[in-house]
Structure 1
Amino acid sequence: MAESLGNMKRTHMCGTLGPHHIDEEVTLMGWVQKRRDLGGLIFADLRDRAGIVQIVFDKDISEEAFAKAEKIRGEYVIAIRGVVKRRHAVNPNLPTGEIEVFASEMKILSEAQTPPIYIEDEDDVSENLRLKYRYLDLRKSRMQKNLMFRHKVAKVVRDFLDENGFIEVETPMLTKPTPEGARDYLVPSRVNPGKFYALPQSPQLFKQLLMVSGMDRYFQIVKCFRDEDLRADRQPEFTQIDIEMSFVDVEEVLAINEKLLQRIFKETMGIDIEIPLQRMSYREAMERYGSDKPDVRFGFELKCINDIAENCSFKVFADTVKNGGDVRGINVNGYGNRFSRKDIGKLEDYVKTYGAKGLAWIKVTEEGVNSPIGKFFHDAEMDKILQRFDGKPGDLLLFVADKPSVVLDALGHLRVEIAKQLGILNKDEYKLLWVTEFPLFEYDEEEGRYVAKHHPFTSPMEEDLELLETAPEQVRAKAYDIVLNGIELGGGSIRIHSTELQQRMFKALGFTTAQAWEKFGFLLEAFQYGTPPHGGIAYGLDRLVMLLTGNDSIREVIAFPKTQNASSPMTEDPSVVEERQLKELHIRVVLDQNQ
């Protein structure tokens, strides 16, 4: 039978007690982690979000409390009143291990059935089961620490931005569908039959309108929604730290955000990061690392050997260069002996998943080179290759020859995969850098046209404006991403604030004037009434917290996440709705017969 609290009021959290509380009377409340009956004494570990403390029930102190303690089991919710005493057998693995509490009074507030999952940090429960019983999973110490750390990061962000003149403004959750890249989540309107709202993929248009309104400095920690295929660091709903500023250019946005990141690392991790952060242009990042979000904690940088390969006797290399492709490679410095021919074969299979046709290799030994392609190169050519890669005995050179996009993608992923296999990625090392000067456009093969690399409101660099209509692929954007250990934390840009330039941008993207006004008319009209130059950035809060807590999935730092198929095993959503609701919304569901 559950009891009420009565006159008991909690005085301390379990994990906050220590030797300085000895001989104090305390009242604690929480969950029973485990219970041990030693006859005349019963020991129970009591847990709340602050930690665990040992409770002692002694018949000589309170027969009533002892009798109740005989009934309790794991996950019972109890309240106890008692005196803190020094523990004879100290538990060095417990922060409260020097003390214990001798109970004089106890109430059973709630009984509990045996839980379907263990409430322990180190368990072997499937993720699906963890998500089905998420409210139990969240009782685990590590999960509570993750959420408390997330809270701390959000608080540091709010405090810093408030100190620097930013105003937190909420923007609508129900808005107009706009083509921003991913699919929208649509919400039917009952009072406007046949019409739909969209859940925002980001507050992009509204934060620009706030700059038009004169808000000057805005931020928001906000939910965003994208209907896209999921992976470890994606969710259908995710949280952004959204920031926008007026009367700024790239350098001012980067500078204030470097200070923000510096504060986050210092106050949440105790880590000092030096600013200004490393900068790298998009072109340099792709050339050196094969990625626009390079992990710079290790080497294995890409090198191009087109000048050596174009006239060599190895037909695969020579023909690739003659047909406009690239031949590039990486040097796995000093680790060549770790890879057998079988291991290299597995690496070849790996690069094929990124479109590469094969993987050539050269091992450098004390006796010379060992390679199946070595016979196709003259000594002078081989010397040039070794010099290009600074090849020394013990090194392994790996090459991909293909069209440039495939080469960069394959080698960019390969260098990271090899670093993982070698175990040289240090989670306690944090390498931040800005990647700047992104292309304004990228070509979409499926649609047969150029699309915006970031979004259609990104400003071109002034020196490239004349190329907007004639050579759009060469236009660079005033866009920047912040990268941590090979993962994009956030990105932003200086926005277009001119109606004329915005219309030129829409035209380059294939929008007619009528289409542009249909989709974005409210923004274009707003620009006609005086618009300050402005720009900003958005961080993925989930991803930032994931990295700082050393997790590999953002589901570990979100209270109630979805699975890989965008569903919740706990609430069983998405779900079928009643026909009555569909009629009210003027919607009819037509099932695909092939599904």
Structure 2
Amino acid sequence: METLNGLKRTHYCGDLRDKNIGEEVVLMGWVQKKRNLGGLVFVDLRDRSGICQIIFDTDVNAEAFAKAEKLGSEFVIAVTGKVSERSSKNPNMPTGDIEIVATELKILNKSETPPIYIKDDDNVSEELRLKYRYLDLRKPSMQNKLMIRSRVANIVRNYLSSNNFFEIETPFLIKPTPEGARDYLVPSRVNEGKFYALPQSPQLFKQLLMVSGMDRYFQIVKCFRDEDLRADRQPEFTQIDCEMSFVEQEDVMSIMEKMVQVMFKEILDVDVTLPLPVMPYAEAMERYGSDKPDTRFGYELTNISDIVANCGFGVFANATKDGMSVRGINIEGKSDAISKKQLSKIEDHAKTYKAKGLAWMRIGANREVTSPIAKFFTEEEMTAILDRMNAKEGDLLLFVADKNSVVFDALGQVRLEVARRLDLLNNSEYKMLWVTEFPLFEEDEETGRMIAKHHPFTSPLDEDLERLDGDDKASLRAKAYDIVINGYEVGGGSVRIFNADVQRKMFSALGMSEEESQEKFGFLLDAFKYGTPPHAGIAFGLDRLTMILTGTNNIKDVIAFPKNQSAVCPMTNAPAVADDAQLEELSIKVDLADKE
């Protein structure tokens, strides 16, 4: 192996153009490909900027040529040479008009045969990619995603700083809290038997910064949640966290949508029209079955409960009782595009979201209906259904009957699944909106008790505030707002409670006693005694934003070293077993006997 021995790189491989012809350059990088043509060796040299062709000619430098013959894939080399016009230009490469005639070659490090190909279309399993992530990240597409992530972070910092936000760090070792997802706990050696938690968000600290008079705060910060994973979720993730004093909901939404506008213009050269549309939560659920609606396509939900309340089809008729409903979507003009087999798979998809089934009707000429349930409806009922669904020849109608939460969830997911199968989701099209007026509370499916929909520091709407200590918690609405892009919630925030008495009422509504509230959140309640300004904030998911800006559907693609679906790092094998000495020092005993 050779060393640099004072040799300095003059250019990146992908930056050279015909304007550089005649210049002496020094390039450094990895061997992407080598071709030996006898007296000439051609090498594609790669670094993070791109690829440049190098020619080793035995007549130019026999020693460099001899070394070049020994090069293998992913060898790390330094090349000195002259930029020349390429005789056979490659229009598919940014550097395709030039090549480097090498006069010197240093082999800085050799490489074994890599376990994965360093190319974008390698078709390697995700687990193998994560195991050899340092090789996976050499691929141009992966490097481009991380470069875009870096640009996004810089845009955020520049924009917020220019709008009088201060970047302030908050602690990672905090007090465990009872709300939200499970905490990651960190044992304290100094305080035996006690634990820190890693923050799920800096929520309380950013509110305390408003109490302290900082007025506008932001932080690009790691957050942690010990929860089950999916394609767009990781146990550790990055938030663009913001808080503002003396503002209302509209102020936060205005300044933050302008930041998104700047981001999309600078990264994608896409013009975002402001102000963004605003849709109340109730409308989003009724129309799309989701509080993060993808509005790039139609297939909106239609309620037919009143029409089928007394029909002969028991599944529909029974579902209209006790607050349940029957709703459908019209897959307009696509009946022939969805086969019986595909329809069965779409039904299976609906069942994963707790639907008991998926009823369907195909609409033929003269609105003739083909469906196994058509016989259960009178002519008047069928006509009313078709009119309500705006059905015409070639349409496919899909229905779910159940309690509203199941109907919304299942049909909302069905419309997305159909759109995917019909290739309607264009990743270069961006539909954005705000969803507002979320419920203040929601029912926990496991315990049946009411919990905070957003978090327990969210303010109710002014007109609902006086009912906070009443019994009808399900009807209360929050001063909460999410920004949605293409069906992804990329940011969520709220106006905060800033009065100690109202905050105590909120804790009480969540089932906390005065003593429990003081024990868990006494520091916040105490702070509210000393003059707290009205304040509000928002947190964007940097990972999710970058995922959209790079056109990928997998959040792991925009995180340098992500975990797999089991929250394991295949590269480092984290988490790992701690040795006995460490556990003893922390007074921890691990007993897995009951788990086996």
Fold match (TM-score > 0.5): yes
Cα distance, 1:516 vs. partner?
A: 0.7
Unaligned runs of 5+ in 1: none
Residues 204-260 of structure 1 show CA distances to partners (whole Å, capped at 9, x for unaligned) of 000000000001000000000111111111111110000100001110000001100
Query: In the aligned structure 2, how far is the partner of 1:425 from the partner of 1:156?
Result: 27
SS in 1 for 2:497: coil
Cα distance, 1:402 vs. partner?
A: 1.3
Cα distance, 1:314 vs. partner?
A: 2.4
Contact between 1:332 and 1:395, CA under 8 Å: does it hold in 2?
A: yes
Cα distance, 1:578 vs. partner?
A: 1.4
Residues 314-362 of structure 1 show CA distances to partners (whole Å, capped at 9, x for unaligned) of 2322222134310111111111122344433333232222222222222
Counterpart in 1 of 2:484?
483
Contact between 1:467 and 1:474, CA under 8 Å: does it hold in 2?
A: no
Counterpart in 1 of 2:6?
7
Counterpart in 1 of 2:570?
569
Counterpart in 1 of 2:396?
396
Cα distance, 1:170 vs. partner?
A: 0.5
Counterpart in 1 of 2:468?
468
Counterpart in 2 of 1:418?
418
SS in 1 for 2:593: coil
Which letter maps to 1:205? Answer: L
Contact between 1:49 and 1:144, CA under 8 Å: does it hold in 2?
A: yes
Which letter maps to 2:489? Answer: E
Alignment of 1:379-528 (within 5 A): 379-470=379-470, 471-528=472-529
Quote the sequence identity (%). Answer: 64
Query: In the aligned structure 2, how far is the partner of 1:315 from the partner of 1:593?
Result: 46
Query: In the aligned structure 2, how far is the partner of 1:586 from the partner of 1:340?
Result: 61
After TM superposition, the structure 1 stretch with the greater mean CA deviation from structure 2, 232-241 or 315-324, is 315-324
Cα distance, 1:17 vs. partner?
A: 0.4
Cα distance, 1:375 vs. partner?
A: 2.5
Query: In the aligned structure 2, how far is the partner of 1:404 from the partner of 1:169?
Result: 43
SS in 2 for 1:255: helix
Cα distance, 1:463 vs. partner?
A: 0.2
Query: In the aligned structure 2, how far is the partner of 1:116 from the partner of 1:89?
Result: 33
Query: In the aligned structure 1, how far is the partner of 2:341 from the partner of 2:9?
Result: 63
Contact between 1:86 and 1:99, CA under 8 Å: does it hold in 2?
A: yes
Counterpart in 2 of 1:48?
47
Which letter maps to 2:37? Answer: L
Counterpart in 1 of 2:190?
191
After TM superposition, the structure 1 stretch with the greater mean CA deviation from structure 2, 375-384 or 460-469, is 375-384
Cα distance, 1:522 vs. partner?
A: 0.8
After TM superposition, the structure 1 stretch with the greater mean CA deviation from structure 2, 335-344 or 67-76, is 335-344
The alpha-carbon distance between structure 1 residues 55 and 342, as it changes in their structure 2 partners (threshold 3 A), is closer
Cα distance, 1:438 vs. partner?
A: 0.2
Counterpart in 2 of 1:221?
220
Query: In the aligned structure 2, how far is the partner of 1:228 from the partner of 1:455?
Result: 17
Cα distance, 1:383 vs. partner?
A: 1.9
The alpha-carbon distance between structure 1 residues 349 and 70, as it changes in their structure 2 partners (threshold 3 A), is closer
Counterpart in 1 of 2:356?
357
The Cα RMSD (Å) is 1.2
Cα distance, 1:369 vs. partner?
A: 2.0
Residues 400-436 of structure 1 show CA distances to partners (whole Å, capped at 9, x for unaligned) of 1111111111111111111111111111111111110
Counterpart in 2 of 1:23?
22
Residues 253-309 of structure 1 show CA distances to partners (whole Å, capped at 9, x for unaligned) of 000011000000000110001011011100000001111111111111101112211
SS in 1 for 2:465: helix
Counterpart in 2 of 1:369?
369
Alignment of 1:165-244 (within 5 A): 165-244=164-243
SS in 1 for 2:10: coil
Query: In the aligned structure 2, how far is the partner of 1:319 from the partner of 1:538?
Result: 42
Counterpart in 1 of 2:546?
545
Query: In the aligned structure 2, how far is the partner of 1:118 from the partner of 1:316?
Result: 54
Counterpart in 2 of 1:83?
82
Which letter maps to 1:388? Answer: R
Query: In the aligned structure 1, how far is the partner of 2:351 from the partner of 2:203?
Result: 37
Which letter maps to 1:257? Answer: M
TM-score by length of 2: 0.98
Residues 485-530 of structure 1 show CA distances to partners (whole Å, capped at 9, x for unaligned) of 1111110100000000000000000000110111111111111111
Which letter maps to 2:360? Answer: W
Alignment of 1:66-105 (within 5 A): 66-105=65-104
Which letter maps to 1:154? Answer: A
SS in 2 for 1:425: coil
Query: In the aligned structure 2, how far is the partner of 1:182 from the partner of 1:586?
Result: 26
SS in 1 for 2:81: strand
The alpha-carbon distance between structure 1 residues 122 and 445, as it changes in their structure 2 partners (threshold 3 A), is closer
Query: In the aligned structure 1, how far is the partner of 2:445 from the partner of 2:389?
Result: 34
Counterpart in 2 of 1:308?
307
Counterpart in 2 of 1:269?
268
Counterpart in 1 of 2:114?
115
Residues 90-140 of structure 1 show CA distances to partners (whole Å, capped at 9, x for unaligned) of 112211011000011111111211111111111021111111111111111
The alpha-carbon distance between structure 1 residues 529 and 6, as it changes in their structure 2 partners (threshold 3 A), is same
Query: In the aligned structure 2, how far is the partner of 1:104 from the partner of 1:504?
Result: 78
Alignment of 1:330-341 (within 5 A): 330-341=329-340
Query: In the aligned structure 1, how far is the partner of 2:352 from the partner of 2:111?
Result: 50
SS in 1 for 2:171: coil
The alpha-carbon distance between structure 1 residues 341 and 560, as it changes in their structure 2 partners (threshold 3 A), is closer
Cα distance, 1:445 vs. partner?
A: 3.5
Query: In the aligned structure 1, how far is the partner of 2:340 from the partner of 2:230?
Result: 32
Counterpart in 1 of 2:556?
555
SS in 1 for 2:569: coil
Contact between 1:180 and 1:201, CA under 8 Å: does it hold in 2?
A: no
Query: In the aligned structure 1, how far is the partner of 2:186 from the partner of 2:595?
Result: 26
TM-score by length of 1: 0.98
Cα distance, 1:467 vs. partner?
A: 1.9
The alpha-carbon distance between structure 1 residues 341 and 65, as it changes in their structure 2 partners (threshold 3 A), is closer
Query: In the aligned structure 2, how far is the partner of 1:133 from the partner of 1:439?
Result: 44
After TM superposition, the structure 1 stretch with the greater mean CA deviation from structure 2, 148-157 or 397-406, is 397-406
Query: In the aligned structure 2, how far is the partner of 1:118 from the partner of 1:515?
Result: 56
How many residue pairs match? The answer is 594
SS in 1 for 2:115: coil
Query: In the aligned structure 2, how far is the partner of 1:384 from the partner of 1:326?
Result: 16
Query: In the aligned structure 1, how far is the partner of 2:169 from the partner of 2:523?
Result: 19
Q: Which runs of 4+ in 1 moved over 4 A?
A: none
SS in 2 for 1:220: strand
Query: In the aligned structure 1, how far is the partner of 2:117 from the partner of 2:82?
Result: 30
Query: In the aligned structure 1, how far is the partner of 2:260 from the partner of 2:554?
Result: 21
Contact between 1:243 and 1:537, CA under 8 Å: does it hold in 2?
A: yes
SS in 1 for 2:124: coil
Query: In the aligned structure 1, how far is the partner of 2:168 from the partner of 2:323?
Result: 51
Unaligned runs of 5+ in 2: none
Query: In the aligned structure 1, how far is the partner of 2:493 from the partner of 2:458?
Result: 8
